[in-house]
Chain A
Amino acid sequence: MDATRQEPPSTRTTERQAWLAELALAPASALEAAWGALADQPGWRHLRQPELGLAMVRGRAGGTGQAFNLGEMTITRTTVELAEGTIGHGHVAGRNPRHAELVALFDALLQQPARQADLVARVIAPLAAARAAAVRTEQAATEATRVTFFTMVRGE
């Protein structure tokens, strides 16, 4: 869901929503590689240890009506604090604590004005490009099954 669908309190929130979404949707291995490639890894500690739990997924009757509880999904969350004090949050689908940790670490780093532009270019943009490519592949396969039904004329 794109972040523009709701009224964001500020552009800053929108940017943060965008990078948090990209980090959560990326495979943990890609984040691990990006973290490993950082020249100056900061010191950090957990403010909240990785925690496995559930999110109740809601739907709406008819897609637009009364909300209802569809079922749950596993999620993992954690909060980290960098040595210089920035706090980052990680919430990811599934049960990989390291994935949540990496999301939180990048979230903290991306909030630092000095590093943000560089990290967006070197980490977030490639993740977004990889995801877009995967979506294009999937959509091309789907598109090949587009169908046109013809109604046969009966009688006459």
Chain B
Amino acid sequence: MYVAVKGGERAIENAHRLLAEQRRGDPAVPELTLAQIENQLGLAVDRVMAEGSLYDRELAALAVRQAQGDLVEAVFLLRAFRTTLPRLAASRPVDTAAMRLRRRISAVFKDLPGGQVLGPTYDYTHRLLDFSLAQPTRADTPGPRRGAETAEPGTAAGHSPKVAELLAREGLIEPEVADDDAPVGDLTRDPLCFPAGRDLRLQALARGDEGFLLGLAYSTQRGYGKTHPFAGEIRMGAVAVEIVPEELGFAITVGEITLTECEMINQFKGSATEPAQFTRGYGLCFGQGERKAMAMALVDRALKGAALGEDSGGAPAADQEFVLMHADNVEAQGFVQHLKLPHHVDFQAELGLVRSLRAAASAGTEAEAEP
């Protein structure tokens, strides 16, 4: 138990001053600008927006700078800021089928309508440190692009049909049906109760810690749960966000955001009531976050296991309460780090108890040894 303490005011003030100096670093080195962070550390900004659950590139860049690049701390800063703002609207569900694609790949079909475009990816890089990047004076232009490999008139850049929809047309995959009369659960407004619906699970996963979800996703592949996934489709690009303001009564576009989406396609043998068909796991996150979206899709599918009558054998990734209660890194870091706060009184009580137990034990031993 944490007991309130007083004092330390000057020490805390000086610690904050020291922190500010450390954040600034060597004054001889030019200060980073938010635009530099937004542009050149864009994937850090994306991760902070996804887990901070707030899309605002400039604020996320500020958080990264303020936290000296500690992304979990930056996520915390963004979450704290969002609590200061009123919620003015909820958007209409974004249409990812209409995404303006910057990347679109499928691991299940070689040739598919719209084709495959790699976009800006670390896949196929050699993961060798590029020492030329250590020389900032070198021209930053990577040279002209070579022409496209295929001359096929590109539809990917326009609208490409979703891979899952191709399978759905033949009834080979479970349908995802909208029920827009159902209320949409919001874990920022109501505490999470179990069992949680898919809407709340997806919200929790979308803002969940990437590392935690990645580990859980990996565990499903190693045998803790049976989901047999294929990466049906991964897409990244811009979608328009529409809201319906009361004063207008019709939908208007307020802006565009970048999203990454992953649809996993999983085996399902069928059951007494369901014919054999593929099942689906879904991942969607703010910004460019493919690893996160893939991990989310794997965990989403694992969490659907119970509803599909699968025996997960107690796999952690299939346990709603285990996954959803521990995925949030702001909550997790808060409870882990609260141990740093003064627990003096608590510990004194424990200390007294251990001493008295030892005294009692040694008195007992002496008493036994006496006769």
Residues of A within 8 A of B (CB): 1-3, 5-6, 8-9, 13, 16-17, 20-21, 24-25, 51-75, 77, 79, 89, 91-95, 135, 138-139, 141-149, 151
- Quick check: A66 and B199 within 8 Å, CB to CB? yes
Known: A67-B184, A74-B59. A8 touches B250 (CB 8 A): yes
- Quick check: A72 and B87 within 8 Å, CB to CB? yes
> In the assembled complex, which residues on chain B have CB atoms less than 8 Å from the CB atom of A13?
250
Instruction: Report how far A67 CA is from B284 CA in the complex, Å.
Output: 12
> In the assembled complex, which residues on chain B have CB atoms less than 8 Å from the CB atom of A71?
49-50, 53-55, 203, 206-207, 286
**Does B157 make an interface contact (CB < 8 A)?**
yes
Known: A56-B87, A61-B176. A1 touches B250 (CB 8 A): no
> In the assembled complex, which residues on chain B have CB atoms less than 8 Å from the CB atom of A3?
251
**Chain B residues touching A, range:** 35 or more
> In the assembled complex, which residues on chain B have CB atoms less than 8 Å from the CB atom of A149?
110, 116
Instruction: Report how far A91 CA is from B286 CA in the complex, Å.
Output: 21
- Quick check: A144 and B53 within 8 Å, CB to CB? no
Known: A9-B250, A60-B176. A55 touches B154 (CB 8 A): no
> In the assembled complex, which residues on chain A have CB atoms less than 8 Å from the CB atom of B91?
55-58
- Quick check: A68 and B250 within 8 Å, CB to CB? no
Q: Which of B89, B165, B176 has the most CB of A within 10 A?
A: B89
Instruction: Report how far A7 CA is from B95 CA in the complex, Å.
Output: 16
Q: Which of B140-148, B216-224, B361-369 sits within the interface?
A: B140-148
**Does B152 make an interface contact (CB < 8 A)?**
yes
**Majority SS of interface residues in chain A?**
mixed
**Does B129 make an interface contact (CB < 8 A)?**
no
- Quick check: A58 and B247 within 8 Å, CB to CB? no
Beta-carbon nearest neighbor of A70 in chain B: B206
**Known contacts A24-B255, A55-B89, A57-B94, then 9 further A-B pairs from the complex at CB < 8 Å, ordered by chain A residue:** A9-B249, A54-B54, A54-B88, A55-B254, A63-B97, A71-B55, A75-B243, A94-B255, A146-B156
Residues of B within 8 A of A (CB): 49-50, 53-56, 58-59, 82, 85-98, 100-103, 110, 115-119, 145-150, 152, 154, 156-157, 162, 164-165, 175-180, 182, 184-188, 197-200, 202-203, 206-207, 239-243, 245, 247-257, 259, 261, 263, 280, 282, 284-286
Known: A63-B97, A75-B254, A146-B150. A54 touches B202 (CB 8 A): no
- Quick check: B176 and A66 within 8 Å, CB to CB? yes
> In the assembled complex, which residues on chain B have CB atoms less than 8 Å from the CB atom of A138?
100, 102
- Quick check: B85 and A73 within 8 Å, CB to CB? no
> In the assembled complex, which residues on chain B have CB atoms less than 8 Å from the CB atom of A95?
56, 58-59
Q: Which of B50, B149, B250 has the most CB of A within 10 A?
A: B250
The 5 A-B pairs at the shortest CB distance, nearest first, are namely: A93-B255, A65-B176, A62-B176, A53-B88, A73-B55
> In the assembled complex, which residues on chain B have CB atoms less than 8 Å from the CB atom of A2?
98
| Contact pick for B240, options A1, A56, A75, CB 8 Å | A1
- Quick check: A146 and B115 within 8 Å, CB to CB? yes
> In the assembled complex, which residues on chain B have CB atoms less than 8 Å from the CB atom of A17?
250-253
- Quick check: A142 and B156 within 8 Å, CB to CB? yes
